[in-house]
Amino acid sequence: MATSNGVLRFLESRKNLTGSALGLIGLGLTFAGAAGAYWPVVVAGLYGAGALIAPPERPPAPDFPAPAEQLGELRGDFATLRGYLAEVELPPAASGRLTELDGLLTALLEPGWVADALATDPEAVHALSRAIRQDIPESVDTYNRTRWWTRLTPGTEPPERHLERQLTVLHDEAAGIAAALQDAEARRQRTHTHYLEERRRGEG
More confident: 11 or 189: 189
Measured CA to CA, the distance from residue 172 to residue 183 in angstroms comes to 16
Q: What share of the chain has pLDDT > 70, as a percent? A: 65
Global pTM reads: 0.66
Which amino acid does the sequence have at 185?
Answer: E
Asked whether residue 48 falls in the same domain as residue 130, the answer is no
* Residue 186 in domain: yes
* Residue 196 in domain: yes
Q: Each residue of 150-177: pLDDT tens digit?
A: 776 776 778 899 999 999 999 999 999 9
Q: Is 167 exposed, middle or buried (0-12, 13-18, 19+ CB in 10 A)?
A: buried
Determine the pLDDT at residue 11. 45
Measured CA to CA, the distance from residue 141 to residue 42 in angstroms comes to 74
Asked whether residue 49 falls in the same domain as residue 80, the answer is no
* Residue 60 in domain: no
Asked whether residue 146 falls in the same domain as residue 173, the answer is yes
Q: Each residue of 123-136: pLDDT tens digit?
A: 999 999 999 999 99
Q: Each residue of 57-85: pLDDT tens digit?
A: 566 666 666 767 788 899 999 999 999 99
Q: What number is the average pLDDT over the span 11-29?
A: 59
Determine the pLDDT at residue 76. 93
Asked whether residue 111 falls in the same domain as residue 167, the answer is yes
R_g (Cα) of the chain, nearest Å: 32
Asked whether residue 82 falls in the same domain as residue 42, the answer is no
Asked whether residue 42 falls in the same domain as residue 78, the answer is no
* Residue 71 in domain: yes
In the chain, the number of structural domains is 2
Coil/strand/helix, residue 76: helix
- Domain membership of residue 10 as a residue range: 2-53
Asked whether residue 23 falls in the same domain as residue 122, the answer is no
